[in-house]
Chain A
Amino acid sequence: MLTRPMLTIYAARDLTIEAATSASGSGRTYGTKLINSPAKAASPKEIRRFLSSRHDRDILDGLRRVVSLLDQPIIILTVAQMMSRGVDCSEYFADVVKNVASPTLEIKKLVYIYLLTYAESEPDLSLLSINTIQKALTDQNQVVRAMAIRVMSGIKVPVISQIVALGIKRCAADMSPYVRKAAALAIPKCYRLDPSTLPVLVDYVSTLLGDKSYYVIGAAVMAWWEVCPDRIDLVHPHYRGLCKLLIDIDEWGQLALLRLLTVYARKNFPKVRTKSVKKRKTTSGTKGFYSDEESGDENVVESIDPDLKLLLDCCPPLLQSRNSAVILAVARVYYHLAPPIYLPKVAAPLLSLLRAPEDIQSIALTNIVFIALSYPSVFAPHATHFLVSAIDPPQIWKLKIEALTLVYPYASKDIQSLILNELSYYAGGYDKEMVREAVKAVGRCAQNNPEQSQRCLKLLMQHINSPDQTLVAECLTVIRHIIQQHPARHKKTVVRLAKALDTATNSAARASIIWLVGEFSGVDNGDNVAADVLRILAKNFADEAEGAKLQILLLAAKIYAHYLNRTQGGLADLTASEDESPEDTHPIPVLFNYISRLARYDVSYDIRDRARMYMSLLSTPKSSQLATLILLAPKPVPFAPSPSAAVREGLTVGSSAMMIGKDEFIRGYVSLPDWVSEADATSSKVRDPVVQDSGGYEEVRAVDRPKPQAAPVRAPVSAAPESAASVAKGKEANGKTLDEWLEEEEEEEEEESDEDDDKDEEGEESSEYETDSEEEEEEEETDDDDVKESTKMLPS
């Protein structure tokens, strides 16, 4: 009995393969594949014949063909194949649809698939099938019932909306959760079919949200999102039940529900207040918000709504989900709703997503970096997850490097040095882009953690002689940024850079270094290396490249301007006549004159022009104020933010909008609602399923939650620990070699660092600001008072 029908099948297949072969002659690329595949091609006539056959098998066969057919007008495939290909198969509509009443489930299913695709184009004919489908709603088989409601709601013929709504009503009360789920999923379709059915649909949604079966809830929440996402009130009575069901429902339902609960929480609970008990120890090393929090929870008292706490407490098991989207959705809940102490829980699960395929990895990393922007310390213990592997594609390693720099200030000393070594390794790679990113990252490490900036500088200094121009240029830019941030700390670095001029050959690098030396030509009241550097550079001025020459000229001008300021400031009355005398024997004017004369006869007109400008500017004491403004204006301190910060700030964790960035638009993105104010927060009573006084609601206190990132504290300015010796040494700027200078500076720095330590005990956070303002003070002392107003001027 078994063999005979099999034989006929094979015979039919042979025939159809033949047909396919003949058809493929006119076909494009598909011909060959068809011959190999067991797909049965047939002529439209043949398909019709199949569809009208009395035998189920033939109908099924024909239907399989119809369902596939789409997309390829040239080759006629089975209908099933045609549909999947995008071929228009509407010509078979009548033939297919008359099989809708077939008792055979498989046939029914294929007819349904067909109906869903083509009902729109043949509304009248589809109506004929409605009756049969409606009957199927009362079938004994739950699968048939569920399928019927799914298809009925999917037929895009607005006339039937009332029937569909009725069908949903019936199915929403079905015994089988499987059918109720299908009914819930039908609600959005019905709504799109005819928006006027909304009132009844909202009722159904409300009923289904209270369903006891984990099977239904997910679909009900999805329907809520599609139909009435503003009706938060529908959720109130079910809120606690939903939180408890969270763990049981399937992963897609969890996603929808987590979205719902996030919005719900924002709209109904006031922002969690963190009240930090001011129990500062007298020696409190105010390391910022985090150290407080991690050292002892008793320091932080949170008044958190018990219902919100319920949600937060129901989430942790979801962090063990195999679905990466669920893990990220929990991270969103914690990031946007919970006080920061909850966040460390999500760190390891988020990092576990890095085990996933590359596509998921890159999205997970983007979100990790986003969270790390606000809470870097959360990921600090896991820093080694972010080490770049040789096979990481650019979008991954960029994010990893960013993550490394973000966690850097919070990592242990060992990890910090590991991170710097890693970045230095990446900076030596062949990929120019990676080199650039790595060097920039070192710069960010330095700016985020000024204590370590010496090390970062050291790393960068190693690269300034590299033959790789990209690397050198990036390094010097970053070095300049670091030095500009804390000029007082890096006097020695400038000396070292100046020393590097002996060996550096790259003209751009030389130019950058000379500019930096120029910026430091005014420190210590002129008692610095600048003039000495100029003396050495003057020897080989003719051999320098144009860029370097320009900078040498500028350096000479700056040094001379400083010199003039000093001499005129101190000896204004006495030297008034002396200044007029052409013969000044001090080395600085001599050097300036020498260089500007050389420059006046240079081949480059730019250099000649500038030389003239500087000479005339500095020739008369009257214009020396103007010269100070132009040449010695303090430069704005550069700050390099983390690359993701600007693009993604304020977006929601785990959204597409965050992936594409703030500047792009995607339909339907709504940022999370703001926290409801305490006055508008709903009473917890609305969430009581049965009316009873819970009394659990607690008034929360209004104490500002500290900003996630440690707020910079401006400490009172204390006088800079200046080495008295260096000031006393006076103006003998020219008698020493660079090496001598370096040694001296080192000694000074040791003393300085001792002093720094003392300060650290008072407050590490504030030390960087102290140096800043101390530098400002110095500037003011050294330079003319007008300098203050000239801050906006561009670097000369």
Chain B
Amino acid sequence: MAGAVEALYIFDSQNSPILQHNWRHRPTASPQEYITSYISHPAPRPPLIYLSQLSPPTLLFNIVHNNLTFLSPVTSEVEPLLVLEFLHRIADVLEDYFGPPLIPSKIEGNYDIVAELLGEMCDDGLPANTEPNGLRDVVLPPSIMKKLLANVTLPSGSLDPFRAAPSTISTIPWRRANVKHNSNEMYLDLLETLHCTIAPSGRPIASRVTGTMLFTSRISGIPDMLLSIRTPTARGGGGVVLEAPVFHPCVRLSKWNAQPGQLSFVPPDGKFVLASYEVDMLPNFSPSTASQGFNPPVSVMTKLLQGTNSNEFEVRLTIPGSSPYCTVIPSQSAGSSAFARIAAQGAGATIPSQFLHGGPSTGSSSNPIMEDVSVRIPLPPHVRTVLNTRVSKGDFLHDTERNHIHWRLPNTAIVPGGSYTFKAEVVVKSGHEDGDDEEGKRSGKLLSNYDNNYNDGSSKAPSSGTATPAKEKEKDKKQPPSAQAIASMPRSVLLDFTIRGALLSGLKVDSLNIVGGKGIAESVKPYKGVKYISRAGDGSIEIRC
């Protein structure tokens, strides 16, 4: 178990190579061969592809970042997460150097810096210095590089940055030395994502909030900070508990463990992820208790097998009248662009940098607002199209490639008590006629049976398998939906929303202060900003029908 990263290949969205870098011995195949075997693997690819046809057998690690494919072939045993984490770090560092989003031209235009970075980050295949701040001490960012090119011909004077800067290596690995800012400022963005699964009965069966604390620090010197966060109720009092928190190395773990909620740290310069955590919103799950406790801020109800031909479904969005997230009707300008940005953002895992700064954020912690409410309805594979769609508000889109319907509400419609419906009839692909009426009847009974189970939690066994279907059958006799109709109904609905100005877990920042450090004058009062954003997206809320 040596644990060495051997090489890195970056390919663009057309799978053409844009970068290759070998840290160790010759690769077992050409970049073309690697990308070919990568592509030949069917679409949701495992993060590590075993290439037995190469000699020696090679593990092809891969990640996709911003449409760029990072491949790293490894020929001997290595911890898989080491390679993957390292690839993610490379992507992050490149983004940090060249500014997000990372696009091929930025890499192509700065090959020298990329080569230096890769050489610093990994020495002879062993990951070494991966802290963006630490790297800035030794590799000059492009802006300074340009300045440098302009000034090299000058006699070495005050403007010669590279003789002075890199010789001092910071003693704090994650913070570069000699940080100077004209205006001192720090921002804390708390971003929470709600993950929720709701049973057909409308009751949440699992509900979890995952949170990320994004910190941006532009403070001179070496500031020592203390951040106090407050959970709604104290520990043990049934309030929320931050579970499985993970921290940036700068956070003093002993302080946190002694006093949960107190983060004491010397921040890196620039943007970084300070911590992430999760909160179980249904800590005492039990299907027998009534549906009390947490519910998502928008409720979604579905009705299947509607209409005369039982080929219609209805999705109803209701914003509770007491919703705390829409006390003020937001201005229309805030909405659509934000929607586009969130939609453009890939898998929910990457930290959405657009939340850091800018963006039309009208919500504040005193007046949180909800925006960008939309619903995605994945359709069964054999549904050809939908007809007769009726939307009471907003617009929708049938994405035929991914075979789902995307229905978006305008932000102006998000008012307390608002209730909107989407109705559509499904059309099944021809040649998919299976099952006669009799079978359909029985399947109909199945579906409702399942519902019953969910509702009463099935802790007591349903009386008997033979009695219920008989009754159900009679009930269904009036309008027997065909098996085909049932199979063509959506199975689940995915809800997306963004709330600015509030966290669903109820977490609050009590204070953020510089409590010590050096190189920062007493008189300096840095600007502080705290932002709360809660969101759901990328299928994180699933309502089963």
Q: Specify which chain A residues have a CB less than 8 angstroms from the CB of B350 in the assembled complex.
A: 357
Does B246 count as interface, using CB distance less than 8 angstroms?
yes
Q: Which single member of A5, A414, A659 contacts B286 (CB below 8 Å)?
A: A414
A414 touching B457 in the complex, CB below 8 Å, given contacts A363-B48, A390-B539, A466-B446? yes
Interface centre among B19, B75, B540 (most CB of A within 10 A): B19
B265-292: which residues lie under 8 A (CB-CB) from chain A?
Answer: 273, 276, 278, 280, 282, 285-288
Q: Specify which chain A residues have a CB less than 8 angstroms from the CB of B438 in the assembled complex.
A: 505
Closest to B44 in A: A393
Q: Specify which chain A residues have a CB less than 8 angstroms from the CB of B14 in the assembled complex.
A: 29
Does A215 count as interface, using CB distance less than 8 angstroms?
yes
Closest to A116 in B: B119
Interface centre among A5, A178, A222, A351 (most CB of B within 10 A): A222
Q: Specify which chain B residues have a CB less than 8 angstroms from the CB of A252 in the assembled complex.
A: 82, 86, 126-128, 130
What's the Cα separation between A77 and B19 when bound, in Å? 13
**Chain B proximity of A180: nearest CB distance (Å):** 12
What's the Cα separation between A454 and B350 when bound, in Å? 44
Does A443 count as interface, using CB distance less than 8 angstroms?
no
What's the Cα separation between A81 and B108 when bound, in Å? 7
Q: Specify which chain B residues have a CB less than 8 angstroms from the CB of A1 in the assembled complex.
A: 154
Q: Is the CB of B116 within 8 A of A143?
A: no
B360-415: which residues lie under 8 A (CB-CB) from chain A?
Answer: 378, 380-382
A462 touching B439 in the complex, CB below 8 Å, given contacts A105-B166, A109-B116, A384-B205? no
Q: Specify which chain B residues have a CB less than 8 angstroms from the CB of A571 in the assembled complex.
A: none
Q: Specify which chain B residues have a CB less than 8 angstroms from the CB of A38 in the assembled complex.
A: 109
What's the Cα separation between A6 and B282 when bound, in Å? 62
Q: How does the 8 Å CB contact mask read for A224-256 relative to B, with 1 for contact and 0 for none?
A: 011000000000000000000001001110011
Q: Which single member of A34, A60, A142, A317 contacts B152 (CB below 8 Å)?
A: A60
A317 touching B123 in the complex, CB below 8 Å, given contacts A110-B112, A349-B244? no
Q: Is the CB of A357 within 8 A of B347?
A: yes
Q: Which single member of B62, B349, B382 contacts A356 (CB below 8 Å)?
A: B349
Does B258 count as interface, using CB distance less than 8 angstroms?
no
What's the Cα separation between A181 and B138 when bound, in Å? 15
**Chain A proximity of B448: nearest CB distance (Å):** 11
Q: Which single member of B85, B119, B380 contacts A360 (CB below 8 Å)?
A: B85
What's the Cα separation between A55 and B382 when bound, in Å? 69
Closest to A248 in B: B249
Does B47 count as interface, using CB distance less than 8 angstroms?
yes
Does B229 count as interface, using CB distance less than 8 angstroms?
no
Does A620 count as interface, using CB distance less than 8 angstroms?
no
Q: How does the 8 Å CB contact mask read for A652-675 relative to B, with 1 for contact and 0 for none?
A: 101111011000111111100000
Does A358 count as interface, using CB distance less than 8 angstroms?
yes
Does B163 count as interface, using CB distance less than 8 angstroms?
yes
What's the Cα separation between A5 and B453 when bound, in Å? 78
Which stretch in A417-425, A554-562, A624-632 binds the other chain? A417-425
Q: Is the CB of A465 within 8 A of B542?
A: no
Does B153 count as interface, using CB distance less than 8 angstroms?
yes
What's the Cα separation between A86 and B526 when bound, in Å? 47
**Chain B proximity of A121: nearest CB distance (Å):** 12
Q: Which single member of B17, B124, B145, B440 contacts A71 (CB below 8 Å)?
A: B17
Q: Is the CB of A357 within 8 A of B63?
A: yes
Which stretch in A91-99, A323-331, A637-645, A712-720 binds the other chain? A323-331
Does B81 count as interface, using CB distance less than 8 angstroms?
yes
Closest to B272 in A: A322
What's the Cα separation between A287 and B359 when bound, in Å? 57
Q: Specify which chain B residues have a CB less than 8 angstroms from the CB of A417 in the assembled complex.
A: 287, 457-459
Q: Is the CB of A250 within 8 A of B79?
A: no
Does A792 count as interface, using CB distance less than 8 angstroms?
no
Q: Specify which chain B residues have a CB less than 8 angstroms from the CB of A327 in the assembled complex.
A: 246
Q: How does the 8 Å CB contact mask read for A409-445 relative to B, with 1 for contact and 0 for none?
A: 0000111011011101100111000000000000000
Q: Specify which chain A residues have a CB less than 8 angstroms from the CB of B446 in the assembled complex.
A: 428, 462-463, 465-466
B147-167: which residues lie under 8 A (CB-CB) from chain A?
Answer: 148-154, 162-163, 166-167
Q: Is the CB of B79 within 8 A of A654?
A: yes
Q: Is the CB of A359 within 8 A of B84?
A: yes
Q: How does the 8 Å CB contact mask read for B176-209 relative to A, with 1 for contact and 0 for none?
A: 0000000000000000000101010000011010
Which stretch in A61-69, A545-553, A771-779 binds the other chain? A61-69
**Chain B proximity of A109: nearest CB distance (Å):** 6
Q: Is the CB of A667 within 8 A of B538?
A: no
Q: Is the CB of B466 within 8 A of A499?
A: yes
Q: Is the CB of B116 within 8 A of A325?
A: no
What's the Cα separation between A660 and B282 when bound, in Å? 36
Which stretch in A182-190, A268-276, A517-525, A700-708 binds the other chain? A182-190
Q: Specify which chain B residues have a CB less than 8 angstroms from the CB of A467 in the assembled complex.
A: 434-435, 439-440, 443, 483, 487
**Chain B proximity of A345: nearest CB distance (Å):** 11
Q: Which single member of B62, B76, B544 contacts A667 (CB below 8 Å)?
A: B76
What's the Cα separation between A356 and B434 when bound, in Å? 42
Q: Is the CB of B276 within 8 A of A414?
A: no
**Chain A proximity of B79: nearest CB distance (Å):** 5
Q: Is the CB of B494 within 8 A of A255?
A: no
**Chain A proximity of B96: nearest CB distance (Å):** 15
**Chain B proximity of A500: nearest CB distance (Å):** 8
Q: Is the CB of A391 within 8 A of B539?
A: yes
**Chain B proximity of A575: nearest CB distance (Å):** 39
B445-485: which residues lie under 8 A (CB-CB) from chain A?
Answer: 446-447, 449-450, 453-454, 457-459, 461-462, 464-466, 483
Does B224 count as interface, using CB distance less than 8 angstroms?
no
Closest to B438 in A: A505
Q: Is the CB of A320 within 8 A of B80?
A: no
**Chain B proximity of A127: nearest CB distance (Å):** 21
A313-354: which residues lie under 8 A (CB-CB) from chain B?
Answer: 317, 320-325, 327-329, 348-349, 351-352
Q: How does the 8 Å CB contact mask read for A149-189 relative to B, with 1 for contact and 0 for none?
A: 01001100000000000000000000010100110010011
Closest to A40 in B: B109
**Chain B proximity of A786: nearest CB distance (Å):** 38
Q: Is the CB of B3 within 8 A of A259?
A: yes
Q: Which single member of A5, A105, A458, A505 contacts B162 (CB below 8 Å)?
A: A105
Closest to A154 in B: B124
Does B322 count as interface, using CB distance less than 8 angstroms?
no
A438-466: which residues lie under 8 A (CB-CB) from chain B?
Answer: 454-455, 458, 461-463, 465-466
B60-105: which residues lie under 8 A (CB-CB) from chain A?
Answer: 62-63, 74-82, 84-86, 88, 104-105
List the 9 closest pairs (A to B, CB-CB), nearest first: A393-B44, A359-B47, A68-B111, A668-B76, A357-B349, A391-B539, A352-B244, A325-B81, A467-B435
What are 21 of the A-B contact pairs (CB < 8 Å)?
Answer: A61-B149, A71-B17, A78-B111, A85-B17, A109-B116, A181-B128, A222-B126, A226-B2, A251-B249, A325-B84, A357-B63, A357-B347, A360-B88, A414-B457, A425-B544, A428-B450, A466-B443, A467-B487, A665-B57, A668-B1, A668-B76
What is A's interface to B at a CB cutoff of 8 Å? Answer: 1-2, 5-6, 9, 29-30, 33-34, 36-39, 55-57, 60-61, 63-64, 67-68, 70-71, 77-78, 80-81, 83-86, 104-106, 109-110, 113, 116, 140-143, 150, 153-154, 176, 178, 181-182, 185, 188-189, 215, 219, 222, 225-226, 247, 250-252, 255-256, 259, 317, 320-325, 327-329, 348-349, 351-352, 355-360, 362-364, 384-385, 387, 389-391, 393-395, 413-415, 417-418, 420-422, 424-425, 428-430, 454-455, 458, 461-463, 465-468, 496, 499, 503, 505, 652, 654-657, 659-660, 664-670, 742, 746
What is B's interface to A at a CB cutoff of 8 Å? Answer: 1-4, 14, 16-17, 19-21, 31, 44, 46-48, 50, 52, 56-57, 59, 62-63, 74-82, 84-86, 88, 104-105, 108-109, 111-112, 114-116, 119, 123-124, 126-128, 130-131, 138, 140, 145, 148-154, 162-163, 166-167, 169, 173, 195, 197, 199, 205-206, 208, 210, 243-249, 253, 256-257, 273, 276, 278, 280, 282, 285-288, 347, 349-350, 378, 380-382, 434-435, 438-440, 442-443, 446-447, 449-450, 453-454, 457-459, 461-462, 464-466, 483, 487, 491-492, 494, 538-540, 542, 544
Known: A60-B149, A363-B81. 7 other contacts (CB 8 A): A68-B111, A70-B20, A105-B162, A141-B167, A226-B4, A252-B86, A329-B79
